[in-house]
């Protein structure tokens, strides 16, 4: 009798556990409405070395499985009451460039990692890549010949069309796991209900940029589950199709704040990465609001030969002894109720090398994006359709991983559990003016009727003789522009040809009402990367003069 009771108890316990596992429900209710929702992930990749040279070079392919771990502030997937959300993507390397970050020399990671990093631009796979990766058949062939080594569940009608980036699924099975075999991971990722189709459309200024090891073998040469310094990922994509009732998504799909790491020792996947995604569920258009993504951007300082600030967009190469890189999203959350995240990293210069973090996952509670204002309505036709060309924001941040050559007054770099660590109020501004590839930008900066970028002349006329420019949207100096013949009814403009612009000033204290003195400032024009302003919610082009005429009246 005792044995029967034990067996019955075990049966009912197993039955209850099965019911708990099967109780996973839809995630649709977790998304914010009319406000960006952050999706955090755990991802893994396989590398298809098409020319077998052991390096990541143009033409090579990377296939990624992604498991979303949180939607907004709620954990989903395995062990929770919510379905899992997964994604399968495939990209082809389009270009590669050596970069110089981190320590002096060819290696760009700190400590004993000794890893050479490159900057890569990537795009969707095309018809010529079908022998290695094929969306229509669901086959992955590492050498492009013979029987495919791996397979995934294909989506009807999918093809290597040069636009398709990947698919997002929802699945009650909760079986995603990057810590297992490659085939098991591919199967678990692609066996759910199709929710979103994601693509990269050049006309939308979509892009995928990555800073990653040149040699994939580097992932196996360091300790397992170790983040690789100075790596990052930035994505701006388009939702091509959606089937996630009752949700209605804005078509913009972005990612940032990511990086790479070595895999767990138990995983067959050779590469791990992490990338926070942002999507927006919309109910109605709210004219006048905007947000900005700015990933993998390199900015040269606007300084003259004497080292003093001056309005210049000319890049003097080695004559400039420092530069900065930035990344993040303004107007999109990085967790909780935050309105975004921003990282400003200086390389060299009088102050030395350091990072400044605001609202990022690595920054402590209390850092944030506080206020956001947008100005200069309309969008330059070179850029993505957007309601404004300039965005202004304030926030609270901390200094981290400093290698100071000169002490910044009152700064105590952040360390966990160190109450002396200091917080700092700051304000910043970005101008999204459309000229983002360096050869085109530098060639177009010389206008036969002017000395260059007319925005600089207008800044001087408005009283900003030297950088920085205004930090208030109400003081914005508009870019010279006129309605575009094709897109003018949607706010599209033919703009004076200027590079994207960025400026920031950081204060001694963290109180916005009493911030103290300015202890650091930087301003300059983009040399690499992209700043992209987007509509906050709803339609792509809500800001036209008939809707909000007062916004088109410049006081400068």
Cα torsion at 286, 290, 293, 297 (round to 10°)?
Answer: 160
Q: Is the dihedral of CA 86, 92, 95, 97 positive or negative?
A: positive
Distance (Å) of CA 241 to CA 106, 225, 247, 385, 468: 43, 35, 12, 19, 42
In a domain, 334, yes or no: yes
Q: How much is the pLDDT for 12?
A: 38
Contacts of 143 (CB under 8 A, 6+ apart): 52
pLDDT of 1: 40
Q: What is the pLDDT of residue 336?
A: 42
- pLDDT on residue 284: 42
Q: Which two tokens stand for residue 469?
A: 């420019």
Residue whose entry in the numeric block shows the structure tokens 């809500």: 542
| Domain shared by 481 and 428, yes or no | yes
Taking alpha carbons only, the member of 504, 456, 501, 446 closest to residue 477 is 456
Whether 251 is covered by a domain: the verdict is yes
Confidence (pLDDT) at 500: 87
Please identify, among 243, 258, 279, the residue that sits at the C-terminal boundary of a domain: 279
Bridge partners (DSSP) listed for residue 117: 213
Q: Residue 195: which of 232, 243, 150, 147 has the closest Cα?
A: 243
What stretches of 112-246 adopt beta strand conformation (E)? 117-124, 133-134, 139-140, 150-151, 164-171, 193-199, 207-213, 232-242
How far apart (Å, rounded) are the C-alpha atoms in residues 132 and 229?
Answer: 30
- How many whole angstroms separate alpha carbon 264 and alpha carbon 325? 30
pLDDT of the residue at 502: 93
CA 429 remoteness from chain centre = 18
pLDDT of residue 549: 45
**Residue 111: predicted pLDDT:** 61
Using one digit for the tens of pLDDT, what is the confidence trace for 218-227? 898 888 999 8
427 domain-assigned? yes
Q: Which domain holds residue 233?
A: 28-103+110-279
The half-sphere exposure of 166 on its side-chain side, counting CA atoms within 13 A, is 23
Are the C-beta atoms of residues 524 and 299 closer than 8 Å to each other? Answer: yes
Q: Which residues pair with 355 in a beta bridge?
A: 345, 400
Please give the model's pTM, rounded to 2 decimal places.
0.52
Q: Which of 179, 262, 283, 247 is nearest to 29 (CA)?
A: 247
Let me know whether 173 and 63 are in one domain: yes
Q: Tell me whether residue 205 is in a domain.
A: yes
> 335 and 210 in one domain?
no
525 and 388, same structural domain? yes
The pLDDT score that the predictor gives to residue 297 is 78
Q: Report pLDDT for 294.
A: 77
What is the reported pLDDT for 65? Answer: 96
**Cα 322 versus chain centre, distance:** 23
Domain assignment of residue 128, yes or no = yes
Q: Which two tokens stand for residue 280?
A: 């927006």
Q: Are residues 361 and 258 in the same domain?
A: no
pLDDT of amino acid 496: 78
8 Å CB contact between 319 and 305: yes
Pair 309, 215 in one domain: no
In the predicted model, residues of the chain with pLDDT beneath 70 are 1-23, 102-111, 257, 283-289, 295-296, 305, 313-321, 332-338, 382-384, 401-406, 435-452, 489, 536-556
529 plus 420 within the same structural domain: yes
Domain count of the fold of the chain? 2
Paired residues of 525 in beta bridges? 300, 501
- Residue 553 falls inside a structural domain: no
DSSP 309: B
Q: For position 546, what pLDDT does the model report?
A: 44
Same domain, 275 and 312: no
> Terminal CA-to-CA distance of the chain, rounded, Å?
91
Question: 63-75: string of b/e by CB count within 10 Å (b at 16+)?
Answer: bbbbbbbbbbeee
Q: How, if at all, do strands 207-213 and 232-242 pair?
A: antiparallel
Residues 196/239, Cβ–Cβ less than 8 Å: yes
So what's the pLDDT on residue 335?
40
């Amino acid at each position: 009798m005792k044995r029967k009771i034990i067996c019955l108890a075990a049966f009912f316990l197993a039955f209850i556990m099965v019911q708990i596992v099967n109780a996973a429900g839809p995630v649709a209710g977790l998304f914010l409405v009319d406000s960006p929702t952050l999706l955090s992930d755990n991802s893994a990749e396989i590398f298809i070395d098409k020319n077998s040279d052991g390096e990541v070079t143009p033409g090579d392919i990377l296939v990624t499985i992604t498991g979303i771990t949180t939607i907004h502030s709620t954990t989903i997937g395995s062990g929770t009451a919510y379905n899992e959300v997964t994604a399968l993507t495939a990209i082809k390397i389009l270009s590669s460039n050596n970069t110089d970050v981190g320590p002096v020399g060819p290696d760009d990671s700190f400590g004993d990692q000794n890893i050479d990093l490159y900057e890569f631009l990537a795009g969707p796979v095309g018809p010529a890549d079908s022998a290695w990766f094929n969306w229509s058949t669901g086959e992955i062939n590492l050498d492009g010949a013979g029987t495919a080594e791996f397979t995934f569940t294909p989506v009807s009608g999918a093809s290597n069309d040069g636009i398709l980036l990947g698919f997002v699924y929802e699945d009650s099975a909760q079986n995603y796991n990057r810590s297992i075999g490659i085939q098991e991971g591919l199967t678990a990722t692609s066996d759910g209900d199709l929710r979103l189709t994601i693509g990269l459309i050049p006309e939308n200024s979509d892009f995928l940029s990555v800073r990653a090891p040149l040699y994939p073998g580097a992932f196996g040469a360091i300790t397992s589950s170790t983040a690789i310094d100075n790596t990052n990922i930035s994505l701006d994509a388009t939702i091509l199709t959606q089937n996630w009732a009752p949700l209605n998504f804005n078509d913009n799909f972005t990612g940032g704040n990511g990086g790479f790491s070595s895999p767990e020792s138990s995983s067959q996947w050779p590469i791990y990465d992490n990338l926070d995604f942002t999507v927006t569920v919309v109910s109605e258009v709210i004219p006048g609001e905007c947000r900005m993504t700015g990933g993998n951007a390199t900015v040269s300082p606007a300084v003259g030969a004497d080292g003093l600030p001056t309005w210049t967009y000319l890049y003097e190469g080695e004559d400039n002894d420092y530069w900065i890189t930035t990344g993040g999203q303004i107007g999109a959350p990085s967790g909780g109720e935050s309105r975004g995240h921003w990282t400003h990293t200086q390389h060299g210069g009088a102050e030395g090398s350091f990072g400044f973090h605001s609202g990022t996952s690595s920054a402590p509670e209390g850092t944030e994006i506080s206020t956001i204002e947008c100005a200069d309505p309309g969008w330059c036709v070179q850029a993505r359709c957007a309601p404004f060309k300039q965005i202004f924001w304030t926030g609270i941040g901390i200094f981290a991983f400093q290698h100071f050559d000169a002490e910044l007054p009152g700064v105590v770099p952040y360390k966990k559990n160190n109450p002396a660590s200091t917080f700092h109020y700051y304000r910043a501004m970005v101008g999204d003016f459309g000229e983002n590839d360096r050869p085109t930008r530098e060639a177009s900066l010389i206008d036969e009727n002017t000395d260059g970028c007319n925005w600089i002349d207008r800044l001087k006329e408005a009283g900003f003789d030297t950088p920085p420019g205004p930090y208030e949207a109400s003081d914005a100096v508009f870019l010279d522009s006129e309605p575009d013949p094709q897109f003018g009814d949607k706010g599209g403009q033919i703009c004076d040809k200027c590079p994207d612009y960025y400026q920031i000033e950081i204060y001694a204290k963290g109180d916005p009402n009493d911030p103290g003195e300015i202890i650091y400032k930087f301003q300059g024009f983009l040399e690499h990367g992209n700043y992209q302003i987007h509509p906050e919610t709803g339609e792509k082009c809500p800001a036209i003069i008939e809707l909000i005429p007062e916004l088109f009246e410049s006081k400068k």
